[in-house]
Amino acid sequence: MKVKATRRETVLIGEFAHRTGVSARALRHYEDQGLLEPVRDTNGYRHYDVSDVTVVEQIQAMISAGLGTTMIRRYLDCARTGVHGTSLELCPDLRSELDRIAARLARQQAAVAATRQRLAELTGTQLVTDGRADTLG
């Protein structure tokens, strides 16, 4: 009995950009950075596997979280090999990078809170935190 090889569905860059909501330029950048690996046909056209929509969503989420393309590539390589599963927490180096980002965010939040407090003290106004007004005496 012959087993028929199934061919994965691919689309050209314009359709893939439409499906992902990401510009064709961004997709080319992701390819240049080693984040996506479209197949090229003899004419040089990029063919994206439709299952890579999930990869683009992951890339976008990680960029939004403050990760650079180098870290994103490390995560994607880790996830592709399956050695550590797909958890950001389990991939080497990523935990420390996430900790650095969290620490930087905490410092920035503390600086904003201190600035708000100081402004409130200087102006004698109410300090608004978490949607609640606190009267400064």
CATH of the domain at 58: 1.10.1660.10
34 shares a domain with 19: yes
67 shares a domain with 11: yes
Domain that holds residue 14: 7-86
Whether 56 is covered by a domain: the verdict is yes
75 shares a domain with 101: no
Distance in angstroms (rounded) separating the CA atoms of residues 40 and 130? 51
What b/e string do you get for 69-96 counting C-beta neighbours within 10 Å, with b at 16 or more? bebbbbbbebbeeeeeeeebeebeebee
Most confident of the ranges 4-8, 36-40, 62-66, 97-101: 36-40
Distance in angstroms (rounded) separating the CA atoms of residues 49 and 67? 24
User: Is the separation of the CB atoms in 72 and 35 below 8 Å?
Assistant: yes
pLDDT tens track for 17-49:
999 999 999 999 999 999 999 999 999 999 999
77 shares a domain with 29: yes
47 shares a domain with 74: yes
Whether 134 is covered by a domain: the verdict is no
pLDDT recorded at residue 14: 94
75 shares a domain with 98: no
100 shares a domain with 82: no
User: Is the separation of the CB atoms in 72 and 43 below 8 Å?
Assistant: no
Structure pTM?
0.62
Whether 2 is covered by a domain: the verdict is no
Residues forming a β-bridge with 132: 129
Backbone φ, ψ for residue 128 (5° rounding): -105, 120
Distance in angstroms (rounded) separating the CA atoms of residues 85 and 75? 10
